[in-house]
Structure 1
Amino acid sequence: MLRLTEIKLPLRPYTDDDLAAAIVERLAIAPGELLGFTVFRRGYDARKRSNILFVFTLDVELQDEAAVVKRLKAANNDAHIGPTPDTRYKFVAQAPADLKSRPVVIGTGPCGLLAGLILAQMGFRPIILERGKAVRERTKDTWGLWRNNKLNPESNVQFGEGGAGTFSDGKLYSQIKDPQHHGRKVLEEFVKAGAPEEIIYVSKPHIGTFRLVKMVENMRATITELGGEIRFGSKVDRVIIEDGQVRGVELAGGETIAADHVVLAIGHSARDTFQMLHDQGVYIEAKPFSIGFRVEHPQTLIDKARFGPNAGNELLGAADYKLVHHCANGRSAYSFCMCPGGQVVAATSEEGRVVTNGMSQYSRAERNANAALVVNVNPEDFPGDYKTNPLAGIDFQRQWESAAFVAGGGTYEAPAQRIGDFLAGRPSTALGEVDPSYQPGVHLTDLASCVPPYVIEALREAIPAFDKQIRGFAMADAVLTGVETRTSSPIRITRNAECQSLNTRGLYPAGEGAGYAGGILSAAVDGIKVAEQVALSMVKTGS
């Protein structure tokens, strides 16, 4: 088959006949020469808001592919065509029949689930440990904070089956390099688990929280059917290390599980586990991340700014955006985790702290658009010496999360401020056109006490600059809600080419918590990569 790119069609419902006609026209072939095609990617080009186009990448089967390619080359016209790459997933190993031990995976976020699934599909029968609860019980606990100000530190937005991505927009796109097409494997497994088939080909696929819940349950069932085991309420208190080699894990209840291969897919908020690993001498480095606020606008404003006269077109759905501004103080301010038609959610995992995040349902039909507006921070900004204390970034996060708790009134309400007041440097005392979506609710104040001064300075410069790209972005009634601190892990558990810890053999740091991913798709891809290395090691050593 051949891959044909840059097929553009008007913004209207299309049929297979429309696509077939476009292929025939592009390649200048007779209709009978086209034997079949599939859609590999569908996106849109909105640079001209009055003439938005669908853009397709198609894999086509022709009667005589070589002749068509030769003719196009002779005419010095490649017609955006080339060979279709093989994106089928190929397992790197198969567990021996006399498997002597089982790998352990810690965490059931996208990284841990995909690592466990791949290991199970290769016959290694992994034991997967999750400190939190199964996804439906976890959802009830999460709503307990949102509706009743009641936090369960072991079962919340950060901890539990499905990981932090369960309560998000369910975005499934990433800018990672993926030469092995692991991302395709992730999407295919998600479709098998109940995701809509369109995630395979749309340019910015997303699922939404409610669908993610059922998908996670289906993936768990597949893992157990293949001989894997998933244990909830199983917090790892200690990794058993002998002479620089992992020999197992000890759970909070005192049980020990022997294992020479342990995948560490703990997510970016497992602060007590980071401390435990540091205390045990596992090599950890401090790394940069970003902090700031959530911003909410009317979704209709974003739609109009991005799509012009096509705003509200059902074929386009709710508009998103991606913004960046390099500030005079040397910082970069940018939008992150933009959630069209969604809501701002309480995402703390520790008592006495406020953390925000964003989520959307599949429909993206809520009234507000929200995104994080964040500014980069570096290890040099952290309290103390990050070289002797690589966990200093956690102290930094806690400082501002605690400040937000105080500024919000000490009840898990979040501090909030209208953009007009924020830019003017005065506290907010009343809301305007935008009704904030954060639950348990917001407390109007001055956000200047909730982040470092250089973050305030950077955002006050960036917001008017963003207004030049998204007309209305600096609207006075738009709402900022604090604080967003968990953009990525504040540490990196550094690993070697075989994905093992630099100084602890058999320990495989993976995903967001280890500093090797940022989002559902990249974390899941990293889980596959690590699972492959575990499998190869187990086969090589006869474990």
Structure 2
Amino acid sequence: MAIRINNLTLNIEEDNSSLTKKVAKKLGIGVKSLPEIRIIKESIDARKKDSIKLNYCIEVSMENEEQLVKSINDKDVKIEDEVYEEEFNLGTKKLNTRPVVIGMGPAGLFAALLLARKGYRPIVFERGEDIDNRSKTVDIFWADGTLKENSNVQFGEGGAGTFSDGKLTTRIKDARCSYVLKALVKGGAPEEIIYKAKPHVGTDILKEVVKNIREEIKALGGEVNFNSTLNNITMENGKIKEIQVDEMKISCETLILAIGHSSRDTYEMLNKCGIHMEQKPFAIGVRVEHPQELIDKNQYGKYAGHPKLHAAEYRLSHTSKETGRGVYSFCMCPGGLVVATASEEGRLVTNGMSYHARDKQNANSAIVVTVAPGDFESKSPLAGIEFQRKYEELAYKAGGGNFIAPVQLIGDFLKDTRSQKIGSVMPSYKPGYELTDMRKCLPEFVVNSLKEGLVAFDRKINGFAEENAIMTGIETRTSAPVRIPRNEDLQSISLEGLYPAGEGAGYAGGIISAAVDGLKVAEKLIKKYAPF
């Protein structure tokens, strides 16, 4: 347990040493009597541009904590005992085969880590390459459009999040989040992610972190295999019996399936095997780019560029009056780049990425529109995948091939005019771009919703719909278009021993939530079975 103190505020020009004095004052003790304080959360309050403040949540461990808190009688001072209970009872049922984890994105990585730490010696199969070779493959793709379909921005060690921003913001309230953050710090992430309100690691650092977590899994008896694709699942009497990875058949009774949201061939295989899946809503749209300076000035006013303030972010949402669709920003990357993220030939997809410093000239974000099963062309559980493919193919053609992206100025988009030349904002997308009309590769309801949303967002961030701001098409992989239903034990309702996890199963939406879901699934397995 510890004492937690909320709502401690510093002015932006105030020295951090003032924080210790404010904690001591709250607790009614002298500064010299105060033990070391721990920052649990730091957030920026920029609602008043001429008086920006930093808000803190602080934790401190002391003797007689409960008596002290009762004597203070302050709602902002309380005992905090919500921690992830890692020391749960292990199961007793004997495992005849080692647990298998498919996929090494956040869900698979953290499921395997927990299993390894508990003595279960998991076997991990990842279709893509290890992070070092994967990085070389991705660099070649960004340089000249040479795609490797099994190892790319979507597939490989660390999952799709490795080539994004390493954003660790989540809306879920779960004590496991702390476990994930601490494991990332142990792997080499900066300690500030423990307490920052909007933490991020950055692609450059995250590459080393996932490698270090992999090495911990191996050191604890786990096995990690790259360039290894799950091709088939064999079942008997409603239970998993065997899996096929490439040409190799492996006896298996527990399989954590953490495939990510882009493993379309795996979804097709699961469908053929009779695994129950459902259509699921997602969103599609474009990446927009503005000068980071524009966003900073809108968010921070005269304090833009202050050393205590990072590159400014935004989160925007709007409901279209014309279409009734939600329009919102997604995966905002301050000081970042728009990157090519295709995983299939002839189909173009974009995403955003930042390095840890977030010091590039442009800010970018997806601006997307909600898509529902009613928009799909069939009742097949895979109809959402076909919807994505249709518009990814149109985007590929609109760019002229070789993963050249279609680009349009926002001013021209709002006037239904094909862009003829770039203005003051340079597109960051590689391997290249083609000026065109975004109506060629988006549904009409998305185009109309985007127009309305951009104008609405301009009222919140002055200059958001500025003539020269850039749109790059298209973004389709906001979340999985499929959900694999689970029972109360987090196993597939179709097959005992199959544990769908993370974004690919339709139960998460980001690095932290996917990692937490991986932990939850691993816990269920651990509580049922004895260590291998």
Could you say whether these structures have the same fold, taking a TM-score greater than 0.5 normalized by the shorter chain as the test?
yes
The answer on 1:292 being equivalent to 2:279 is no
Amino acid paired to 2:189: A
In the TM superposition, residue 315 of structure 1 has moved relative to its aligned partner by 1.3
Local SS of the residue matching 2:335: strand
Residues 22-33 of structure 1 mapped to structure 2, 5 A cutoff: 22-33=22-33
Q: How far is 1:117 from its partner? A: 0.5
The residue number in structure 1 matching 2:237 is 243
Deviates more, 1:36-45 or 1:369-378: 36-45
Distance 1:433 1:346 in 2: 22
> 1:461-500 counterparts in 2 under 5 A?
461-500=452-491
Q: Is the 8 A contact 1:34 1:63 kept in 2?
A: no
SS for the counterpart of 2:40 is strand
Q: Specify the code of the residue in structure 2 equivalent to 1:150.
A: T
Q: Show the counterpart of 1:508.
A: 499
Is 1:343 the equivalent of 2:337?
yes
The alpha carbon displacement at 1:60 in A equals 2.5
- Map of 1:233 onto structure 2: 227
**Aligned residues of 1:43 and 1:56 also touching (Cα < 8 A):** yes
**For residues 102 and 290 of structure 1, do their structure 2 counterparts lie closer, same or farther at Cα, with a shift above 3 Å needed?**
same
CA distance in 1, matches of 2:87, 2:237: 32
TM-score of the superposition, structure 1-length normalised?
Answer: 0.95
Aligned twin of 1:413 = 404
Counterpart code for 2:300: F
Amino acid at match of 2:51: N
Equivalent-residue separation in structure 1 for 2:76 and 2:172 (angstroms): 23
- Residue pairs, 1:140-289, within 5 angstroms: 140-178=136-174, 181-252=175-246, 254-289=247-282
1:530 aligned residue:
521
Distance in 1 between residues matched to 2:518 and 2:470, nearest whole Å: 36
The partner residue of 2:83 within 77, 84, 87 is 87
2:12 is aligned with what amino acid?
L
Shift of residue 314 of structure 1?
2.1
Q: Distance in 1 between matches of 2:390 and 2:186?
A: 42
**2-side partners of 1:479 and 1:521: how far apart?**
30
1:319 maps onto 2:320 in alignment: no
Partners of 2:89 and 2:446 in 1: how far apart? Answer: 48
Query: Cα offset for 1:248?
Result: 2.3
Shift of 1:139: 0.9
Mark the CA change 1:44 to 1:129 in structure 2 (over 3 Å): closer, same or farther.
same
Contact 2:90–2:529 under 8 Å retained in 1 = no
The alpha-carbon distance between structure 1 residues 261 and 66, as it changes in their structure 2 partners (threshold 3 A), is: closer
Per-residue CA deviations over 1:291-317 (Å, capped at 9, x if unaligned) read 000000000000000000010112111
Distance 1:48 1:117 in 2: 43
Check the 8 A contact 1:33/1:64 in 2, yes or no.
no
Change (3 A) 1:499 1:67: closer
The change in CA–CA distance for 1:12 and 1:249 in structure 2 (over 3 A counts) is farther
Alignment TM-score, normalising by the size of structure 2: 0.97
Write the distance in 2 (CA, Å) between the matches of 1:334 and 1:126.
Answer: 39
Superposition RMSD in Å: 1.6
- State which of 498, 521, 528 in structure 1 corresponds to 2:512: 521
2:70 equivalent in structure 1: 70
Structure 1 residue 36, shift from structure 2 partner: 3.6
Alignment equivalent of 1:137, drawn from 113, 133, 136: 133
**What residue is the counterpart of 1:43 in the other structure?**
43
One-letter identity of the residue aligned with 1:506? G
Q: Give the Å deviation of 1:32.
A: 4.8
Shift of the alpha carbon at 1:64? 5.0
Measure the CA separation in 1 of the matches of 2:245 and 2:312. Answer: 45
Tell me, in whole angstroms, the C-alpha distance in 2 between the residues paired with 1:56 and 1:257.
51
Q: How many residues align?
A: 530
Question: How far did 1:135 drift?
Answer: 0.8
Deviation at 1:10, TM superposition (A): 1.4
In the alignment, is the contact (CA less than 8 A) between 1:95 and 1:123 conserved in 2?
Answer: no
Unaligned runs of 5+ in 1: none
- Residues in 2 aligned to 1:44 and 1:504: alpha-carbon distance in whole angstroms: 47
Cα distance in structure 1, aligned partners of 2:70 and 2:113: 43
Deviations 1:212-256 (A, max 9, x none): 11111111110000000011111110012112111121112x211
Quick check: 1:324–1:332 contact (8 Å CA) kept in 2?
yes
Contact kept? 1:130, 1:160, Cα under 8 Å: yes
Tell me how far apart the structure 1 counterparts of residues 91 and 183 of structure 2 sit (CA, whole Å).
21
Once the two structures are superposed, what CA deviation does each residue of 1:34-70 show, in whole Å capped at 9, x if it has no partner?
A: 3342111111111111111111101124565445433
Q: Which residue among 442, 457, 473 is the counterpart of 1:451?
A: 442
Tell whether 2:32 aligns with 1:4. no
Q: Which amino acid aligns with 1:286?
A: Q
Shift of 1:285: 0.2
Residue-by-residue CA offset, 1:114-151 (whole Å, 9 max, x unaligned): 00000000100000001111111111111111101100
Q: For the residues of structure 1 that align with 2:183 and 2:91, how far apart are their CA atoms? A: 21
Q: Distance in 2 between matches of 1:161 and 1:70?
A: 49
Secondary structure of 1:513's aligned partner? helix
Candidates 367, 373, 383, aligned match of 2:377: 383
Q: Which runs of 5+ in 2 are unaligned?
A: none
Q: Which amino acid aligns with 1:21?
A: K
CA distance in 2, matches of 1:426, 1:96: 67
What is the identity, as a one-letter code, of the residue corresponding to 2:377? P
Structure-2 separation of matches of 1:534 and 1:7: 41
The reply to whether residue 114 of structure 1 matches residue 114 of structure 2 is no
In 2, the alpha carbon distance for the partners of 1:324 and 1:414 equals: 25
Paired amino acid for 1:299: Q
1:95, CA displacement in angstroms?
7.4
Match of 1:104 in 2: 100
Using the TM superposition, name which of 285-294 and 87-96 deviates more.
Answer: 87-96
1:456 corresponds to which letter in structure 2? V
3-state SS in 2 of match to 1:92:
coil
Measured after TM superposition, the shift of residue 31 of structure 1 is 3.2
Q: 2:460 corresponds to which letter in structure 1?
A: Q
Give the match's secondary structure for 2:529: helix
Q: Deviation of residue 101 (structure 1)?
A: 1.9
Q: Equivalent residue of 2:288, what SS?
A: strand
Corresponding residue for residue 385 of structure 2: 394
Q: Measure the CA separation in 1 of the matches of 2:500 and 2:353.
A: 27
- The amino acid across from 2:102 in the alignment is I
Identity level (%)? 48
**d(CA) in 1 for partners of 2:138 and 2:202?**
16
